[in-house]
Structure 1
Amino acid sequence: MDLDAYVVRARTGPCFVCAFLAGDPDYVHELVFEDDEHVAFLDRWPTLPGKVLVAPKAHIEHAVRDLDEDAYLRLMRVVRTVACAMEQVFAPERTYLLSLGSQQGNAHLHWHIAGLPPGVPYERQQHHALMAENGVLTYAPEERGEAAARLRQALAAARR
């Protein structure tokens, strides 16, 4: 991952969620969940195994100001459902849930679901584990596809 190029792209490029939803080939992600209002996909540059992003399909930038209570609760239900599937597939010691981005970059509201594997030393947990500056995981396309398929399977079983 070229962190400097990522920062430029996040700050000056198109909205990464909207570009993904529009089918822009420069913003391809592995889809794991979709309904009428939301989408969940594997993080392109994960810092932890199975890291997933959940976003509303509509270009919304503020969780509090731009969503009424019902829309917020629907989004959080999707976050929880996807997080439960991620836990089932990756068996983390702890699941981190956070919303990042700002008006200066990655403005489209999205939640990160990141599972901390068991046994990670304390000094490499929490913020350290989430920062791309500390390295990202690389996966072959077939490995990424397999992880997405396992998450889709867990999500499908949860909806039954």
Structure 2
Amino acid sequence: MAYLDRYPTLPGKVLVAPKAHIEHVVRDLDEAAYARLMLVVRTVALAVEAVFAPERTYLPSLGSVQGNRHLRWHIAGLAPGVPFEQQQYHALMTENGVVAPTSEESADIADRLRRAIG
């Protein structure tokens, strides 16, 4: 499943997670399941790129056994022109600010992403 991040640090940040409860990306998925999930991640990432035309697309799998145990990929498109010191981990950390789209803007983003996925 794919859904918009509740607290996005970049416009259009999407999370992709398997429906089944999986905690470890390497040891909890066999090769075929991993490959299928990565194809979904790629499909959604291509939609993010089509809608937002980012300079770079980040695809980390973040989480912790102490919190957010469920496996998920964060798909975050970095807008062109962001200064280097505000890229990479800095751009993904909520401590550095979040984007606050209105519910109408979120609905529009979701619709555009759905259409890009096809």
How far residue 102 of structure 1 moved from its aligned partner, in angstroms, is: 1.1
How far residue 129 of structure 1 moved from its aligned partner, in angstroms, is: 0.5
TM-score, normalising length: structure 1: 0.73
Say if 2:2 is the partner of 1:55: no
Query: SS where residue 112 of structure 1 aligns?
Result: strand
Give 1:140's aligned residue: 102
Q: Map of 1:6-21 to 2, 5 A cutoff?
A: none
Q: Distance in 1 between matches of 2:34 and 2:24?
A: 10
TM-score, normalising length: structure 2: 0.99
After superposition, the C-alpha distances for 1:103-151 in whole angstroms (9 at most, x for unaligned) are 1000000000000000101111111100000000001100000000000
| Paired amino acid for 2:20 | A
The number of aligned residues is 118
How far residue 72 of structure 1 moved from its aligned partner, in angstroms, is: 0.3
Q: Which runs of no fewer than 5 residues in structure 1 stay unpaired?
A: 1-38
From 101, 108, 111, give the equivalent of 1:149.
111
Say if 2:71 is the partner of 1:109: yes
After superposition, the C-alpha distances for 1:47-98 in whole angstroms (9 at most, x for unaligned) are 0011000000000001111100000000000000000000000000000000
Displaced runs of 4+ in structure 1, greater than 3 A? none
Larger radius of gyration: 1
| Paired amino acid for 1:155 | I
